[in-house]
Amino acid sequence: MKVGLIGVGTMGSQMARKLLTNGYEVIAFDINPSALARAQEIGASPARSPRQVAEIASIILLSLPLPNDVEGVVQEAEGVLAGSQPGHVIVDLSTVDPFTTQRNAALAKEKGVGYLDAPVLGRPQACGNWTLPVGGEVVYLDKVRPILEKLAKKIIHVGPSGHGNIIKLLNNMMFGAINAVTAEIMAICAKLGMDPKVLYDTIATSGAASVSNLFIELGPKMINRDFTPLFTIDLLHKDLKLALEMAQRAGVPVIVGHSNQLVNEMARAKGLGNEDTSSAVKVYEEFIGRTISGEVKGGGKK
């Protein structure tokens, strides 16, 4: 069976590999020639445009960076809708706002095309074990479920169009909070003359309600100064920007989220945008006038 895949970067390349391994023929497109070439090397068939992808495959997956990218790929003259036929299904696995999804879904419906938002909860390397909160009509989810089951362990229909996006953005708001507060407590600990490794080891093994898997990952990365990107400051900043705009549109005041975004903005101003989110600790190091370091085995080391 042919599956279209538009966007074969960090996340999309993992999807391509997983689908190819499971016997699907992947019709791929990416504006980055290098990314498309790498997808071709692992067995994907390249397309000239999103439109051509939809002309070849009836199910099209999107994995793109920004809302504007998704809108362009869907709506432009050489976009997916231009090549789609009634009964086709578009599944957007990107991290975008619900309003972009709802606009695209309305246009797709006019053509008799299904449109689902299924943003990824999980790291790229965990493809196959992801959780996908899916918004849109159940009839279309049922149609694409066998494909999504190759990418995710959990597929949860969470409501109408855009509701998957809401969950993703709110989830990443929590990510931002844990990331920022982990950097902050490491700095306070070091400033008070205590070894951050002792702080981490004690809390991580305590069974306290405050302990999260993300803290267990981030603590060692900060202490070991391992800022190899699993998820970059720039990406977190983008996701929180979308989440804050969503909250503003909903008329909900956001206090904690804005504070967390300020940490990301300061990190980006220091040129840390391409580093892992754990590099936010460097913002606090500048305040306290010392470097947080040590060695923690396991944890965030990948």
Q: What is the pLDDT of residues 97-113, one digit of tens each?
A: 999 999 999 999 999 99
Instruction: Give me the phi and psi of 100, to 5 degrees please.
Output: -60, -45
| Side-chain-side CA neighbours of residue 177 (13 Å) | 14
Neighbours of 101 (CB within 10 A): 29
Residue ranges and CATH numbers for the domains of the chain are: 2-160 (3.40.50.720), 166-288 (1.10.1040.10)
* Residue 164 pLDDT level (bands cut at 50, 70, 90): very high
In the block, tokens 């299924």 appear at 118
Helical spans, DSSP H, in 149-299: 163-191, 196-204, 213-223, 233-250, 256-269, 281-288
Spatial contact of 97 and 246, defined as CB atoms under 8 Å apart: yes
pLDDT score for 302: 30
- Write the DSSP assignment of 32-57 as a string of letters: SHHHHHHHHHTTPEE-SSHHHHHHH-
Dump pLDDT digits (tens) for 230-244.
999 999 999 999 999
Nearest to 201 by CA among 185, 225, 187, 220: 220
Element (H, E) at 95: none
Dihedral (CA of 209, 210, 214, 217) sign: negative
Q: Is residue 126 scored above 60 in pLDDT?
A: yes
Q: Is residue 142 scored above 90 in pLDDT?
A: yes
Nearest to 54 by CA among 22, 87, 24, 11: 87
What are the structure tokens assigned to 192, written together?
A: 């008070």
Mean of the per-residue pLDDT values of the chain = 96
pTM: 0.94
Q: Catalytic site residues?
A: 168
For residues 259 and 263, what is the distance between their CA atoms, to the nearest angstrom?
7
Dump pLDDT digits (tens) for 27-59.
999 999 999 999 999 999 999 999 999 999 999
pLDDT score for 299: 46
* Residue 300 pLDDT level (bands cut at 50, 70, 90): very low
pLDDT score for 230: 93
Q: Is residue 298 scored above 70 in pLDDT?
A: no
What is the mean pLDDT of the segment spanning 274-287? 97
Neighbours of 112 (CB within 10 A): 11
Task: Please tell me what DSSP assigns to residue 62.
Answer: E
Q: Is residue 297 scored above 60 in pLDDT?
A: no
For residues 171 and 180, what is the distance between their CA atoms, to the nearest angstrom?
15
Nearest to 129 by CA among 137, 120, 138: 120
